Amino acid sequence: MAPRYTMTIVTDFAAAHYLRDYEGVCNRLHGHNWKVEVHVQASALDRVGMGMDFKDIKDATRGLLGGLDHYNLNDIAPFDQINPTAENIAAFFYSKLSDVLNSDVVKVSAVTIWETDRACVTYTED
């Protein structure tokens, strides 16, 4: 079997949103303290013995958070066109982080977005 290492970082941001075409109270502007988990898999270690430095994962994730933290997500692309659901936010992080972090031996494997302490969604691709 080939080795596989999974590095995970957890961070958070605060942002408001509302859901278009939703029948319920979430169609009104409201906020969350979102928690973001990023899982990165490596098939080999570098010369230091790391799959990927946690700092690199944190920096890439924080770079995305800067454009979302303390904003109304509905005002920010792509969420000005698609609903800023936890599912869509997870897919957004996965795509953007994959563009920055993926290499021949490292791949973003999953992103989990926690909307509350009791509700989350995980996005991954095969």
CA–CA separation, 72 vs 62, rounded Å? 17
Annotated catalytic residue, options 26, 87, 120, 125 = 26
Distances from the Cα of 58 to the Cα of 63, 77, 105, 126, angstroms: 8, 22, 18, 23
Count up the domains in the chain and report the number.
Answer: 1
120 has catalytic annotation: no
Residue 66, both tokens: 């800067």
Write out pLDDT tens, residues 57-95: 999 999 999 999 999 999 999 999 999 999 999 999 999
Share of the chain above pLDDT 90, in %: 97
Annotated catalytic residue, options 37, 87, 115, 125 = 115
Helix (H) or strand (E) holding 48: none
For the CA atoms of the chain, what is the radius of gyration? 16
The domain in which residue 31 lies consists of: 5-123
CATH number of the domain encompassing residue 10: 3.30.479.10
115 has catalytic annotation: yes
Q: Would you say 30 is a known binding-site residue?
A: yes
Annotated catalytic residue, options 23, 37, 39, 70 = 70
Answer whether residue 2 shows pLDDT above 90. Answer: no
Taking the whole predicted model, whether its pTM rises above 0.85 is answered as yes
CA–CA separation, 33 vs 58, rounded Å? 18
pLDDT of residue 1: 84
Q: Would you say 39 is a known binding-site residue?
A: no
